[in-house]
Amino acid sequence: MLFGLLTALCWGAADFLIKLLGSRLSLRASIVWAQGMSAAVVLATMVAIGHVPFAAFDRAVLPFLAAAAFANAVGNGLLYAAFQNGRVAVVAPLIGSYAIVATLLGILAGTEALSLPLGAILAAIGGGALLVMFEDGGAAGLRPRVGALAAGGSALASGVSIWVAAAYVLPTVPVTDLLLANFGLLALCALVWPTSDGLTVPGDRRTWGVILGIAISTAAGYGAYNTGLATGGIAVVSILSTLSSAVTLLLAMVTLGERVSGVQRIGLAIVLVGLPVLAAVRELW
């Protein structure tokens, strides 16, 4: 339970801080500095515990590690784009629907059985996510359609990454190695990506504080999630970690004054309630 709660709190806080960083830096700069800092935090942890990166796992797992890191890079890159272009109330629950993708992959791979309750919950969450996308335009300067599409793409790629990591990587690869690959690859991709966005160096302490907060929260969240899976608490961690979207939304409502209206309220309620139920059905049914 502890790892699940920590995961939800850390991921929720990280997503909220990513939203704040998007108003201070360009998309490219946000990814490079935040993900680079996250990789530095993980590397510092490795040095502190005396662990040599990528030295203690079967090389046959390398293709799966690369696939998980690549899918994570796509998913988290789109996550940054989603929060920069859309409202938290819309993109947070859409991003959280990565659990649907992971579940469907498990069904296709034969590791999970498709039951009537599972199918009904998947359909309900999918319908709720569609209702959430009925955006009213949000604040001036936002691009809600771009944000919603990026959030959907993030959920798809992140679901693939999490499923590959859980099925093929984490059984033999240390959590810190997976995290370093995830953060480092995304930062590198953003650094070399051909774009007109300049790599602005943050010039004030508040921005650096947000970046450090993202790095610590992200690393701690993934660390808690993967440690929980590795120690056998799959059911509880999976269920509680889905509450990260609710944490992000709550922070946005309190500090940014975000609100939802009309059918969005129904869709948001379906997604926020459906995700923990989905996790419970997957692990406990």
**Per-residue model confidence as pLDDT tens digits over 232-243:** 556 566 667 777
Look at residue 17 in the predicted model and tell me its pLDDT.
95
**Per-residue model confidence as pLDDT tens digits over 85-104:** 888 888 888 888 887 888 78
216 with 41: CB under 8 angstroms? yes
Spatial distance between the Cα atoms of 172 and 43, rounded to a whole number of angstroms: 19
Query: Which tokens belong to 111?
Result: 């590791």
Domain locations in the chain as residue ranges: 2-284
120 with 284: CB under 8 angstroms? no
Residues 6+ apart with CB under 8 A from 121: 274, 277, 278, 281
Whole-prediction pTM value? 0.84
The closest of 87, 124, 86, 83 to 103, measured between CA atoms, is: 124
Through-space distance between the first and last CA atoms of the chain, rounded to whole angstroms: 18
- Rounded alpha-carbon distances, angstroms, from residue 209 to 18, 30, 85, 254, 256: 12, 13, 22, 20, 18
Amino acid 218 reads T
User: DSSP readout, 152-218?
Assistant: HHHHHHHHHHHHHIIIIITTTS-HHHHHHHHHHHHHHHHHHS--S---PPP-SHHHHHHHHHHHHHH
Look at residue 69 in the predicted model and tell me its pLDDT.
94
**Per-residue model confidence as pLDDT tens digits over 34-85:** 999 999 999 999 999 898 888 877 788 999 999 999 999 999 999 999 999 8
Look at residue 63 in the predicted model and tell me its pLDDT.
93
